[in-house]
Amino acid sequence: MDNDATAALADRDGAQAEISLDDLDRKILQELQDDGRRAFRDIARTLQVSEATVRGRVKRLRDTGVLQILGYVDPAAYGYGTMVVLLVKASPAAHSRAVAEFTAWPETTWVSTTIGRSNIYVQMLCKDSDSLYALLTSRLGDVDGIVDVDVIQEVKVHKAEYHYSRLS
Amino acid sequence: MDNDATAALADRDGAQAEISLDDLDRKILQELQDDGRRAFRDIARTLQVSEATVRGRVKRLRDTGVLQILGYVDPAAYGYGTMVVLLVKASPAAHSRAVAEFTAWPETTWVSTTIGRSNIYVQMLCKDSDSLYALLTSRLGDVDGIVDVDVIQEVKVHKAEYHYSRLS
DNA sequence: CGCTTCTTTTGCGCATTGCGCAACGGGGAG
DNA sequence: CTCCCCGTTGCGCAATGCGCAAAAGAAGCG
């Protein structure tokens, strides 16, 4: 753990900001991954620093977009039983425009550029298969430059954990 | 918004618990989606109920697994630049065993059963392409009953928002 | 080495919050 | 109507979040 990771996070304007994390940042992030409401004093006690330091770091990490403290709700419990992944193949010229369009949709929870069989990866939530059908037939057709789309429906989620344990 | 959604959440043993949410639950969840550290008193003021009620509801929602208040860390910033999606086609007989195996891997953040071209959907994080290569060559080969695997690498994340705004 | 300047950390005081607990109230069952 | 059960409420206290100014490093320079 002696390397500095730098990340280019894109904000909504497409501008980028370079952010580098040190060891303390990473430890704080690890503490918050499991329980986003952990008290700053607890974390400070664990990491042997002052509470104000932890608070300042967390504020910076949240402001820069590295950390999001959010309430993740099980979609099925909330009433959005239909989860779909779109594997979109877009023409190179239309790629960024298509990405922007998918990002703007409220139903999408994840949009990324991929390499492999498809260009764009889209994760979506719908209330039921009716609204999914409406979305796929009407709005998806309005996106230009789409060559091919694979629709994969998730019928059961077995694991949904967004914390990085100690990897390799 | 007058229907009761019931969800079957699987815990680690595979047992299931039926949970039904009412309007207040859903409103509380909406309040917490954007900022998992919102003060209970704030939410109570907004929803015109007492703080103890909000606190009790949140505790129940967290205990049942409907709500996870977590710190989501941008993987690239943390140092896990390699994000991969596996579209696995497993034979019906080996399906559940393969799902269990993928779930047990620390590198996987999301495992679900799908319909479409593949059976199992797996989202993974790796530090670099070396560890990814090691994972794909050694450990993936040990999983029985896998007919086909498509590997899709995410090179840039454009949107990562896990809150459900007002849909349809 | 000494000095300046800038950034980060620390300690402290205060307003706010989280939490436990006992009391209140409203809807069914008998 | 009465009893019972469960969710809600109000309250008091300990713990937390927050702002701020002082202290401690870290980096640049003659």
Write out the residue range of the structural domain in which residue A40 sits. Answer: 5-64
CB contact under 8 A, A168 and B37: no
Nearest-by-Cβ selection for A19 from B71, B77, B156: B77
pLDDT in tens, A66-87: 999 999 998 888 888 789 999 9
List the one residue out of A84, A82, A86 whose CA is nearest residue A127. A82
B32 Cβ neighbours under 8 A, 6+ residues apart: A70, A71, B38, B43, B58, B67, B69
Residue B81 shares a structural domain with residue B150: yes
Residue A86 shares a structural domain with residue A150: yes
Residue A102 shares a structural domain with residue A137: yes
- Predicted confidence band of residue B76 (pLDDT cuts 50, 70, 90): confident
Classify residue A137: in a domain, yes or no.
Answer: yes
Classify residue A70: in a domain, yes or no.
Answer: no
Classify residue B160: in a domain, yes or no.
Answer: no
**pTM of the predicted model as reported, rounded to 2 decimal places:** 0.80
Q: Which of A71-85, A112-126, B48-62, B128-142 has the highest mean pLDDT?
A: B48-62
CB contact under 8 A, B111 and A159: yes
CB contact under 8 A, B115 and A157: no
Residue A124 shares a structural domain with residue A83: yes
Number of domains forming the structure of chain B: 2
Residue A165 has pLDDT above 80, yes or no: no
According to DSSP, the β-strands at A5-10 and A16-21 are: antiparallel
Classify residue B116: in a domain, yes or no.
Answer: yes
CATH of residue A45: 1.10.10.10
* pLDDT, mean over chain B: 85
For residue A164, list chain B residues with Cβ-Cβ distance below 8 A. 73, 75, 78, 80, 125
Residue A55 shares a structural domain with residue A104: no
For residue A102, list chain B residues with Cβ-Cβ distance below 8 A. 158-159
Strand C nucleotides within a 7 Å radius of protein CB atoms: 8-12, 16-22
The label of the residue with tokens 């993974």 reads B124
CB A65 within 8 A of CB B157: no
Residue A50 shares a structural domain with residue A85: no
For residue A168, list chain B residues with Cβ-Cβ distance below 8 A. 126-127, 131
Residue A143 shares a structural domain with residue A80: yes
